[in-house]
Each structure stands twice: as structure tokens, then as C-alpha cells.
């Protein structure tokens, strides 16, 4: 992300914070919450495209069960899909108290909350849109529809929503939101994130083959399978709906996890999140941004492109006169790059393309 705004700092309880970095994470939260709230409103009040159906279709004759009668009602889905993954991030942070600093552990929890909020909001958006666009009937549609007892259609004619006599518009609309399964997409989104984080924290892929670590990493996926399959026994979904929702939730959950956490195969990182993002410096590093450093007692944290680490001094010094304090101290680091922005032309990257690129730091 290429941003030419000047950065600045302010202090909170003796902690120096980059303004651009802080506002970027505030934007993340507001943006994800906006997507979440908009998706809930859209999924609740926007009518679906009503698919035609047959009164003689036995796959649509299942009994309607109320939300209270279902194996996993909505309130329990929220606990499983969001609450349990959040507790998992907190628990893993507590387990790392002897090796990771408090700042690092709190940052990992914050990153985990961002992953969960963003991924669940986006999967809900995708699921609600697909539900309303497809408008496919649920297995209990006829029970919701309550067609007239003497309803007779012409041969080779399908019924539509106008042939239903139910007084509950909400119940009828929900009967045409079968694909994909919202329970499946939600629970797989949260549980896949939990599985990835557990695999990273326990270093499942360290080639030692410890069975307990493998089981713990797979356990969230087993929970997701149980919740998803319960929607079939509750007469809410077909198998196709479960598969579609599971794929959506798994893909979005994996994508969001990798936005805030390195690969689970990076064993030296120990499951730690990326450090706080640095904005406004991509112009000087071939459009690759940087991170602010977080102090860690345990070495091996993901520290590529950290711009206030003494190790990057040789690379940063290529850009101008700088001393070591300018790379370590946040305020002086920001002042240095702000001054560079004034001295180096806007086509700096293009002018560098014909020469040897600067080292990514």
C-alpha cells in the first residue's frame, strides 16, 4: 500500500505510537464492523429471489423445526464460531507467558480478534448475498409454505411463492435461503482459524509426529463438521448447502489468518502475529511496506522489513545520511522518513528500476 502522508507520533502511558499505524487499525475495525452490520441487515430484511418448486417434491416435505428445537441454535453458533476461537487466542497467549512479553501476547490477541471479526463479517456478507440470489428452497419448505389443501397445479407446472398460505412472511422467506449454509460457513470460518493458530502455536509441522498436537489441531475441524451436519438432521439444509458453506468459511478464514499471521510452516515464528504495520515507507522500498518492532524475549519472531531494528542500518543508510539512533527510536525514525519524502522525487521507484533494487527491509 503506497501512502505519501507524513507520519507522526503520540504517547499513551509512556508508549510511543505511530499515528498512521494506529489509524489504519482503527479503520480495519470500523470497516469490518460496517461489513458485519450491513450483512446482518441485508440478510435479515432483503427478500430472496423465490425459486420455483413442486408440491410433489419429497425432498421438500420435511418437518419444520423451530430454532429452539435445532441442535445448534443461533446463540450457540455465535459462541462456537466466535467465542471459542477468541478464547483459544487468549488461552494460547496465557500459555506463552514464560516466553513472550506481555506486549507481544496482547498484540497477538488483538490480531486474532481482527482476524475473527474480519473473516466472520466477510463470510457472512458472501453467504447472505448467495442465499438471496440463489433463492433455493430448504428441505422443510412445504411445511413453512402451508399450501392450500385443495391446491392443484396443471401437469408439468411448478408452484411459486404465491401458492403459499402461511401468514409468516419471515418464516417463508427463510424457506428460500437454503444455499449456502450459514451455520457451516460461520463455524468453519472460526474453527479453521482456531485450527491454524493451534497448529502454529504447537508447531504441528515440526516433523516430530506428536499425536496430541495433531489431535488438538484437528479438534476444531471436528466441531465444525458436527455443527454443519446437524443442519441436515434439523431439516434446514441439503448436503450441497453444507459443502458450499464449508468451502466458503474455510477459504475466507484461511485468507484472513494469513493476512495477520505468517504461515504455520514458519516454525521459528512460534505462531506470533505480524508486528504492527508501518505505513508511508513503501515508496522507498520497491512498494514493500514495513513493520514496527515488538520486543520479544524469545528470538525468531517474524521480522522482515522491520524499520526500527539496528540490523537494517546498512540498507536504510543507502537512502540518506542517518545514524543508528534514527533507526531504533520511533520518533527519529519517522522524522527521517518524513524528511526523505521531501527530498526524494515521487518517481523514485521508477528511477530505481534501471538500477539494482534496494534491499527489502
Q: Cβ distance 118 to 32 under 8 Å?
A: yes
Share of the chain residues as helix, strand and coil, in percent rounded to the nearest 5: 60, 5, 35
Q: What is the DSSP letter of 209?
A: -
CA dihedral 133, 138, 143, 146 (to 10 degrees): 20
Hey, what's the cell of 42? Answer: 441485508
Q: Which of 2, 51, 110, 237 is catalytic?
A: 237
Hey, what's the cell of 178? Answer: 437454503
* Residue 360 designated active-site: no
Q: Cβ distance 27 to 108 under 8 Å?
A: no
| Strand blocks (E) in 240-352 | 277-278, 290-291
CA separation for the pair 67, 164 (Å, rounded): 21
What is the three-class DSSP state of 302? coil
CA separation for the pair 109, 102 (Å, rounded): 11
CA distances for 62 relative to 50, 167, 235, 325, angstroms: 19, 19, 6, 71
Hey, what's the cell of 230? Answer: 446437524
CA separation for the pair 130, 132 (Å, rounded): 5
Q: Cβ distance 180 to 188 under 8 Å?
A: no
HSE, CB side, 13 Å, CA atoms: give it for residue 158.
9
Handedness of CA 192, 193, 198, 199 (dihedral sign): positive
* Residue 183 designated active-site: yes
User: CA angle 89-95-98, nearest 5°?
Assistant: 130
- What is the set of active-site residues? 183, 237
Amino acid at each position: 500500500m503506497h501512502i505519501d502522508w507524513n507520519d507522526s507520533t503520540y504517547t499513551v502511558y509512556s508508549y510511543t505510537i505511530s499515528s498512521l499505524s494506529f489509524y489504519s487499525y482503527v479503520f480495519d475495525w470500523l470497516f469490518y464492523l460496517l461489513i458485519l452490520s450491513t450483512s446482518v441487515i441485508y440478510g435479515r430484511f432483503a427478500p430472496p429471489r423465490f425459486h420455483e418448486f413442486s408440491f410433489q417434491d419429497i425432498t421438500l416435505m420435511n418437518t419444520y423445526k423451530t430454532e429452539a428445537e435445532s441442535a445448534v441454535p443461533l446463540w450457540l453458533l455465535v459462541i462456537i464460531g466466535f467465542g471459542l476461537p477468541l478464547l483459544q487466542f487468549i488461552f494460547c497467549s496465557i500459555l506463552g507467558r514464560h516466553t513472550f512479553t506481555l506486549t507481544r501476547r496482547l498484540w497477538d490477541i488483538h490480531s486474532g480478534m481482527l482476524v475473527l471479526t474480519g473473516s466472520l463479517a466477510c463470510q457472512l456478507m458472501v453467504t447472505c448475498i448467495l442465499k438471496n440470489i440463489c433463492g433455493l428452497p430448504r428441505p422443510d419448505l412445504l411445511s413453512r409454505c402451508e399450501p392450500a389443501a385443495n391446491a392443484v397445479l396443471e401437469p408439468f407446472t411448478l408452484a411459486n411463492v404465491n401458492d403459499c398460505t402461511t401468514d409468516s412472511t419471515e418464516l417463508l422467506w427463510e424457506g428460500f435461503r437454503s444455499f449456502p449454509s450459514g451455520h457451516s460457513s460461520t463455524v468453519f470460518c472460526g474453527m479453521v482459524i482456531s485450527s491454524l493458530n493451534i497448529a502454529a502455536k504447537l508447531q504441528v509441522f515440526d516433523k516430530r509426529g506428536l499425536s496430541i498436537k495433531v489431535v488438538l489441531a484437528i479438534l476444531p475441524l471436528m466441531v465444525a463438521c458436527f455443527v454443519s451436519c446437524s443442519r441436515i438432521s434439523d431439516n434446514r439444509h441439503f448436503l450441497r448447502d453444507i459443502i458450499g458453506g464449508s468451502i466458503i468459511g474455510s477459504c475466507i478464514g484461511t485468507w484472513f489468518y494469513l493476512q495477520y499471521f505468517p504461515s504455520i510452516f514458519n516454525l521459528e515464528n512460534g505462531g506470533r502475529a505480524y508486528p504492527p504495520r508501518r505505513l508511508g515507507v513503501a515508496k522507498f522500498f520497491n512498494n514493500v511496506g514495513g513493520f514496527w518492532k515488538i520486543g520479544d524475549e524469545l528470538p525468531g519472531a517474524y521480522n522482515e522489513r522491520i524499520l526500527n531494528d539496528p540490523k537494517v542500518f546498512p540498507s536504510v543508510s543507502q537512502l540518506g545520511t542517518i545514524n543508528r539512533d534514527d533507526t531504533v527510536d520511533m520518533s527519529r525514525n519517522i522524522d527521517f522518513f518524513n524528511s526523505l519524502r521531501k527530498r526524494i522525487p515521487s518517481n523514485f521507484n521508477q528511477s530505481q528500476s534501471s538500477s539494482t533494487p534496494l534491499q527489502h527491509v
